[in-house]
Amino acid sequence: MLQLQAIRERKDDIAEALKKRNLDAGPILNSALQLDEERRSVQAELDNTLATSNKLSKEIGMLFKSGKAQEANTLKEKTAELKESSKALSEKLNEVSLKLNEILYQIPNVPHPSVPAGNSDEDNEEVFREGDIPELSGDALPHWELAKKYDIIDFELGVKISGAGFPVYKGKGARLQRALIAYFLDKNTQAGYSEIQVPHLVNEASGYGTGQLPDKEGQMYHVGSDNLYLIPTAEVPVTNLFRDTIVDPDEFPIRYTAYTPCFRREAGSYGAHVRGLNRLHQFDKVEIVRVEHPDHSYEALDSMVEHVKGILRELKLPYRILRLCGGDLGFTSALTFDFEVFSTAQDRWLEISSVSNFEAYQSNRLKVRFKDGQKKTQLAHTLNGSALALPRVLAGILENYQTEEGIRIPEVLVPYTGFSIID
């Protein structure tokens, strides 16, 4: 969430920047400042009350020692009144603080100056494109038809077991899926990311820490009995490793990678654009997460973008990179680059990765801090990216690598699959 000091000092600038998100933030920023003033006033009154009470307690002790019991008992009545007053002030402080946090949780991150204005994904800015789009025969099939033809993914069986959006991978389809996971993890670890395995369910504090709550509460699967949430991405548990910690600045850059299944309710539209692997409720993803010194976070973002580029080059998939506009920017992100692979059989671009810098937005919620050279505590910056999400990468491979003989496997994956064609 945004820092209150920043809102106090730069309210008008923040309101102007948030217009890129098509948000009139003036009223909510004013509400936050009013509640902050009330909170600070109550805190000051509470501090004075406690200080007075402590002072009187010392005087009472001295009076009893001096044999002045009557005067001491008179002061004890005053301290009792002060205790009741401090109790009421503490309750009021908690109430105001909760209201203030509720307001702050509703304010999205401030877009980076390079974020273009816009209302939807149609206004995103293409910044890079690479790779040749293959020419397929006239009878080329979309991946859901290829999956059925070669018996490698069974969508109907998934419906039987769980419902739509829960595919069953079979035979060479399962092995290709496993190969992609291993390949992505190897590429990430070779680039300096430490591999980690994390829980697939998180508590409410973790969801609030990275910003999935309350913004995406309806999109997450909730285990009501235990008040736990199935993770929508490894970003949530990995970033929460650093919640309420003071990081040694010598540890920067902190880089982790993790494979996890991801779970998203993804309620929405129907049609060819969400068929097959295009939109799922359960899918596999390999994530990269970084915790950085604020001075180097955008350099780190560029490094992450180049890293994902390298993976797609090795897979020899045609792709493009979009800088997301304000209207399509994630709630917690300051700047996001989306990677899209071209699906020749569907004749459309498929999003396969988002690489984002959250600046101090997440770390302010999480209290991820470090001490600078003057021993002053500062908030770190957090970043994350998909490297990569499997469903649409797999869809792109199946569709772009299809031939009359079968589906060729990208050369870089053959050592992982143990086969070079699905036929």
The reply to whether 382 and 261 lie within a common domain is yes
Query: Can you give the pLDDT at residue 65?
Result: 79
Query: Can you give the pLDDT at residue 281?
Result: 95
Domain that holds residue 79: 4-105
Domain boundary among 47, 79, 105: 105
112, part of any domain: no
The reply to whether 266 and 409 lie within a common domain is yes
The reply to whether 89 and 128 lie within a common domain is no
Domain boundary among 43, 77, 105: 105
Is 354 labelled a binding residue? yes
Cα separation, 39 vs 103, whole angstroms: 13
Query: Can you give the pLDDT at residue 272?
Result: 56
Q: What is the mean pLDDT of each run of 10 residues along the chain (423 residues)?
A: 96 97 97 97 95 86 80 81 92 97 96 96 97 88 96 97 96 98 98 98 96 87 95 97 96 97 77 80 97 98 98 97 97 98 92 97 97 90 97 96 96 98 97
84, part of any domain: yes
Is 107 labelled a binding residue? no
113, part of any domain: no
**pTM of the predicted protein model:** 0.92
Query: Can you give the pLDDT at residue 268?
Result: 54
15, part of any domain: yes
Is 384 labelled a binding residue? yes
Candidates 272, 239, 289; CA nearest to 345 is 272
Is 265 labelled a binding residue? yes
Query: Can you give the pLDDT at residue 168?
Result: 98
Is 287 labelled a binding residue? yes
359's CB contacts (< 8 A; 6+ apart) are: 109, 112, 294, 297, 334, 381
Is 102 labelled a binding residue? no
Query: Can you give the pLDDT at residue 58?
Result: 84
The reply to whether 141 and 288 lie within a common domain is yes
Chain-centroid distance, C-alpha 155 = 28
The reply to whether 258 and 318 lie within a common domain is yes
115, part of any domain: no
The reply to whether 99 and 183 lie within a common domain is no
- Length of the chain measured in residues: 423
Is 233 labelled a binding residue? yes
Is 137 labelled a binding residue? no
Is 264 labelled a binding residue? yes
Count of the separate structural domains present in the chain: 2
Query: Can you give the pLDDT at residue 267?
Result: 60
Asked if 132 and 139 count as a contact pair (C-beta separation under 8 A), the reply is: no
The reply to whether 368 and 256 lie within a common domain is yes
CATH code for the domain in which residue 27 is found: 1.10.287.40
The token pair at 287 is 């994530």
Is 30 labelled a binding residue? no
Classified as helix, coil or strand, 255 is strand
111, part of any domain: no
Query: Can you give the pLDDT at residue 181?
Result: 98
Give me the torsion for CA of 7, 11, 16, 22, rounded to 10°.
Answer: 50
The reply to whether 176 and 283 lie within a common domain is yes
The reply to whether 156 and 20 lie within a common domain is no
Helices (H), 329-413: 361-366, 390-400
